[in-house]
Every structure is written in structure tokens, then in C-alpha cells.
Amino acid sequence: MNKNIKLNLAIFGGSFDPPHIGHIKIVRKSLEILPVDKLFIVPTYLNPFKNSFHAPAETRYKWMKKIFEENKKVEILDYEIKQKRAVATIETVKYLYKNYNINKLYVIIGADNIKKLKQWQDFDTLQQLATFVVVARDDINISKNLINLEISANISSTKLRESMDERYIPSSVKQEIISFYKEKNE
């Protein structure tokens, strides 16, 4: 990337364990409403608020690459996976600022994160470096001073692991995901 060009970037991080159509809708809607040059999807190695994962980080990374391989504005970033530990969002944000000439940075989060947002590591700095975009979820009230991302996808990775409802699994990775979790649950 040319270091002289200032970029508008977005980060959409998560466990993606497994990825589902809600994640695709979030990315599409973000690209539709946010003036971004690139959207980074950042699979976690381990979510800082969880103590385990079901699918290994490399597997989740591979699934996300396959799902979004056609979209030139989307890049799957393996920065957090390479750290082999839980990584706070502020670290990823600083990594991007170090490697890109950023004009504006958006961090896309689910509304379920709003309550704990102030507990995020170095929240004050994070708030100065990034603009939060909140995905509506579970009828959680979203402040008017935040960018609200309205999508309709009543699914979560937790629900999907429990039901393995094929309607919610992206077609490009459907068989891999079903096989993986079926094997894991046996």
C-alpha cells in the first residue's frame, strides 16, 4: 500500500466459531454504509472474554478466507492468530496504524458488547483511534451517538453450534463446517 494515501479502514473481529450468514450480512452492510477502502475481518486466536474455542484459529481463518475470497475490499487478517493468545482490540488497532496511513478507522462490534465496552483494554485510547459501529442485536438499546448497523439475522455462532441449521451456514464452507462440528460433537 502507498503510505502517502490516507485510508478509511474497518475492523470486524470475532471468534467466527463457526462463521454464519449473519457475519456475511454485517460485512455487506458495513461496505454499503461505511466509506471504507478496506474492511479487515480479524478472527481471534482466543476471545479475551472467553477461555476456549471450538474450532482451531487456523481453521476459522481458512473458512473466512474462503467465504470472502471474491470480495476485493475484504481482507482476512491473521494478526491476532499469529500472536497465539488472546489479543485486545487496541493491539490490533495499533498494528493497523503502524502498517497503514489511516484517515479513519471503524471498529464493528455487536450490541451485546456495549455493556462491557468500557472494560476493554485501554478503552480511552481505543475510543480516540477508532469510531465504533454497532450491529443491532437482541433488542439492545444503541446510543444515538454510535453508528448503528441494522441487519436481520437472528443467529449466533453459539446457536449454530447447537443446531447446525444449514440455512445459516455459508454455502462455500457448509460441508466443512458441518463435518467439523459433527466430528467434534461425537
Q: What is the pLDDT of residues 83-123, one digit of tens each?
A: 999 999 999 999 999 999 999 999 999 888 888 889 999 99
Average pLDDT over residues 50-66: 93
Q: Among residues 1, 10, 6, 4, which one has the least CA distance to residue 109? A: 10
Q: Is the dihedral of CA 138, 79, 9, 129 positive or negative?
A: positive
Residues 6+ apart with CB under 8 A from 186: none
Q: List the chain domain ranges.
A: 7-185
Cell of 10: 474497518
> What CA–CA distance (Å, rounded) separates 173 from 176?
5
3-state SS, residue 12: strand
Provide the sign of the torsion angle of the four alpha carbons 144, 149, 154, 160, taken in this order.
Answer: negative
Nearest to 169, CA basis, from 15, 11, 23, 13: 23
Please tell us whether the domain made up of 7-185 is placed in CATH 3.40.50.620: yes
Q: pLDDT tens for residues 20-30? A: 999 999 999 99
Quote the mean pLDDT of the chain. Answer: 91
Judge whether 7 and 1 are in contact, CB under 8 Å. Answer: yes
Instruction: Tell me how far apart the alpha carbons of residues 113 and 134 are, in angstroms, rounded to a whole number.
Output: 9
Angstrom CA distances, 167 to 30, 86, 114, 136, stand at: 22, 31, 28, 21
pLDDT band at residue 5 under the 50/70/90 scheme = confident
* pLDDT given for residue 1 in this prediction: 53
175 pLDDT band, cuts 50/70/90, is: very high
Residue 2's pLDDT band, with cuts at 50, 70 and 90, is low
pLDDT given at position 144: 78
Alpha helices in 109-156 (DSSP H): 123-129
